[in-house]
């Protein structure tokens, strides 16, 4: 039996009508332009979108913050107010832990703006996300005929910084290229890594041009990584939500292997109500961290801001305790379709 319950916050991503249709199908038919204005202007409360069942037991809820990805990034104060309302609702519903999905983490500075909260534990889910991305990177380096020059785009972020530190700790990559728009945080990160690591920092995506594996961990509403950025035969691991790659990348560059990042297999997972855009039995890693913490009885805040290596080890151990329910990186997919990373061919689902 689960040792606690959780709430997980999500929001409509870049295509607002498509994601509102996940709450209730007819909402998907409303014109995009209407949502762009209405979600921005109307003081809409959080929506109880789905009940979460794992192992046949109800363990959590998904709460939708009705504010689009572009709204979130352009109106951070309002976004924070709305995320805070969702946390109020989670408290009222008796949740032990609340996890911050997608840009609800970014606009709250990785949950730091909620650290005064009592009565509920807050996590940005980024400790387990970093663990899963680290597992996926090592799997790709070992099996996808990839060289070992890894570029982390968004390396100064909450997930990106943790993934960089995990890779640098044991020299999993021969070379690390760390990319973000602003250089000071990147330089500080690079300076904190073991001296054995070969590290370059850059503020332009052009720096990924000779990387064998590009890991995308940016927070943007738009596609940032384009076909012309990538080396021949490069591998891209994209964990962004909303996605910062477009499906056109895979068709424009058939030599490139594009793998969805941060997806976890939990075969008994069922959502009653809306769906959050992952195949049945699968979940985002940040969602999974929230479930893991609640189900293993964690109380109090967990990952806020940048997750620590100790938190990553802790959540990995908790996930191992739940291994009978899955809680491991999902088999590789490209935009939701199974892919064989050795042959780089699509495989039947
Ligand atoms: N799959 C999952 O389960 C899962 C879980 C957690 C997070 N995520 C996703 O992972 C991504 C990162 O999350 P986070 O919480 O780590 O975000 P974050 O802390 O806000 O970090 C974002 C990073 O991206 C960089 N960045 C933003 N826009 C950029 C641009 N146009 N070009 C280059 N770099 C850019 C930022 O640095 P600058 O601002 O200096 O550029 C920063 O390094 C988000 O898309 C989030 O939704 C997925």
pLDDT at 195: 82
Query: What is the distance between the alpha carbons of residues 328 and 309, in angstroms, rounded to a whole number?
Result: 18
Q: What pLDDT band is residue 1 in, cutting at 50, 70 and 90?
A: confident
Query: What is the distance between the alpha carbons of residues 114 and 87, in angstroms, rounded to a whole number?
Result: 9
Q: What pLDDT band is residue 197 in, cutting at 50, 70 and 90?
A: confident
pLDDT at 94: 96
**Is it the case that residue 277 has pLDDT exceeding 90?**
no
- Find the 58 Cα to ligand 1 centroid distance in Å: 31
- Find the 217 Cα to ligand 1 centroid distance in Å: 5
pLDDT at 163: 98
Task: Give the number of the atom of ligand 1 that is nearest the alpha carbon of residue 103.
Answer: 47
pLDDT at 117: 96
**Is it the case that residue 196 has pLDDT exceeding 80?**
no
pLDDT at 97: 98
Partners of residue 151 on adjacent β-strands: 177, 214
| Cα angle 307, 309, 311; round to 5 | 60
Query: What is the distance between the alpha carbons of residues 224 and 348, in angstroms, rounded to a whole number?
Result: 29
| DSSP H/E element including 35 | helix 32-41
For the Cβ of 159 lying below 6 angstroms from any atom of ligand 1, the answer is yes
- DSSP reduced 3-state for 259: strand
Q: What pLDDT band is residue 288 in, cutting at 50, 70 and 90?
A: very high
pLDDT tens column, 76-119: 999 999 999 999 999 999 999 999 999 999 999 999 999 999 99
- Find the 295 Cα to ligand 1 centroid distance in Å: 27
Query: What is the distance between the alpha carbons of residues 67 and 39, in angstroms, rounded to a whole number?
Result: 5
What is the best residue among 137, 180, 303 to mutate for testing ligand 1's pocket, by most ligand atoms within 8 Å of CB?
180
Shortest-distance Cα residue to atom 20 of ligand 1:
106
What is the best residue among 157, 165, 259, 302 to mutate for testing ligand 1's pocket, by most ligand atoms within 8 Å of CB?
157
For the Cβ of 333 lying below 6 angstroms from any atom of ligand 1, the answer is no
Structure tokens at 229: 């950025």
Shortest-distance Cα residue to atom 19 of ligand 1:
157
In sequence order, the 6+-apart residues with CB closer than 8 A to the CB of 342 are 143, 144, 145
pLDDT at 222: 85
Query: What is the distance between the alpha carbons of residues 76 and 153, in angstroms, rounded to a whole number?
Result: 22
**Is it the case that residue 61 has pLDDT exceeding 90?**
yes
- Domains in the chain, start-ordered, CATH in brackets? 6-127+264-329 (no CATH), 134-261+335-346 (3.40.50.720)
- Find the 56 Cα to ligand 1 centroid distance in Å: 34
Q: What pLDDT band is residue 145 in, cutting at 50, 70 and 90?
A: confident
pLDDT at 328: 95
For the Cβ of 160 lying below 6 angstroms from any atom of ligand 1, the answer is yes
- Average pLDDT for 179-193: 95
Residue with tokens 């699509």: 346
Structure tokens at 132: 């899963």
| DSSP secondary structure string for all residues of 192-231 | HS-TTS-EEEESSGGGGTT-SEEEE----SS----GGGSP
In sequence order, the 6+-apart residues with CB closer than 8 A to the CB of 267 are 281, 325, 326
- Find the 161 Cα to ligand 1 centroid distance in Å: 10
**Is it the case that residue 144 has pLDDT exceeding 90?**
no
pLDDT at 274: 86
- Find the 271 Cα to ligand 1 centroid distance in Å: 26
Query: What is the distance between the alpha carbons of residues 279 and 248, in angstroms, rounded to a whole number?
Result: 21
- Find the 225 Cα to ligand 1 centroid distance in Å: 13
Task: Give the number of the atom of ligand 1 that is nearest the alpha carbon of residue 157.
Answer: 21
Q: What pLDDT band is residue 8 in, cutting at 50, 70 and 90?
A: very high
Query: What is the distance between the alpha carbons of residues 62 and 6, in angstroms, rounded to a whole number?
Result: 9
Query: What is the distance between the alpha carbons of residues 294 and 184, in angstroms, rounded to a whole number?
Result: 36
| DSSP state for residue 270 in the 8-state scheme | E
Give phi and psi for 107, each to the nearest 5. Answer: -75, -20
Shortest-distance Cα residue to atom 45 of ligand 1:
240
pLDDT at 223: 83
Q: Strand 263-265 vs strand 328-329: parallel, antiparallel, or unpaired?
A: antiparallel
Nearest C-alpha neighbor of 222 from the set 343, 72, 110: 72
| DSSP state for residue 170 in the 8-state scheme | T
For the Cβ of 157 lying below 6 angstroms from any atom of ligand 1, the answer is yes
For the Cβ of 106 lying below 6 angstroms from any atom of ligand 1, the answer is yes
Give phi and psi for 201, each to the nearest 5. Answer: -115, 150
Q: How many residues does the chain have?
A: 349
**Is it the case that residue 349 has pLDDT exceeding 80?**
no
In Å, how far are 239, 287, 328 from 82, measured between CA atoms? 24, 19, 32
pLDDT tens column, 219-264: 988 889 999 999 999 999 999 988 999 888 988 999 999 999 999 9
275 versus 108: which is more confidently predicted? 108
């Amino acid at each position: 039996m689960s040792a606690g319950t959780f709430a997980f916050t999500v929001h409509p991503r870049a295509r607002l009508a498509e994601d509102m249709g996940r709450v209730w199908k007819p909402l998907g038919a409303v014109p995009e332009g209407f949502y762009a204005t209405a979600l921005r202007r109307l003081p809409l409360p959080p929506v109880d979108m789905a009940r979460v069942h794992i192992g046949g037991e109800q363990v959590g809820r998904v709460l939708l913050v009705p504010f689009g990805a572009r709204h979130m990034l352009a109106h951070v104060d309002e976004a924070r107010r709305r995320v805070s309302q969702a946390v109020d609702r989670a408290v009222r519903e008796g949740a032990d832990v609340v996890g911050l999905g997608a840009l609800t983490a970014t606009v709250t500075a990785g949950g730091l703006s909620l650290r005064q909260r009592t009565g509920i534990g807050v996590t940005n889910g980024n400790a387990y996300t970093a663990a899963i991305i680290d597992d996926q990177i090592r799997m790709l380096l070992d099996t996808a005929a990839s060289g070992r020059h890894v570029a982390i785009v968004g390396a100064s972020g909450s997930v990106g910084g943790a993934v960089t530190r995990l890779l640098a700790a044991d020299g999993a990559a021969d070379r690390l290229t760390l990319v973000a728009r602003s250089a000071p945080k990147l330089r500080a990160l690079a300076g904190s890594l073991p001296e054995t690591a070969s590290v370059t920092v850059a503020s332009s995506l052009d720096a990924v041009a000779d990387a064998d594996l590009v890991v995308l961990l940016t927070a943007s509403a738009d596609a940032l990584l384009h076909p012309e950025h990538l080396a021949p035969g490069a591998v891209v691991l994209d964990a962004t939500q909303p996605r910062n790659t477009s499906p056109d990348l895979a068709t424009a560059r058939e030599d490139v292997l594009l793998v969805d990042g941060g997806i976890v297999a939990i075969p008994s997972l069922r959502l009653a109500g809306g769906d959050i855009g992952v195949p049945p039995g699968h979940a985002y890693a940040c969602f999974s961290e929230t479930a893991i913490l609640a189900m293993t009885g964690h109380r109090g805040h967990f990952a806020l801001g940048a997750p620590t290596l100790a938190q990553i080890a802790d959540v990995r151990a908790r996930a191992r305790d739940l291994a009978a329910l899955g809680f491991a990186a999902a088999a590789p997919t490209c935009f939701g379709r199974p892919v064989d990373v050795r042959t780089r061919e699509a495989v039947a689902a």
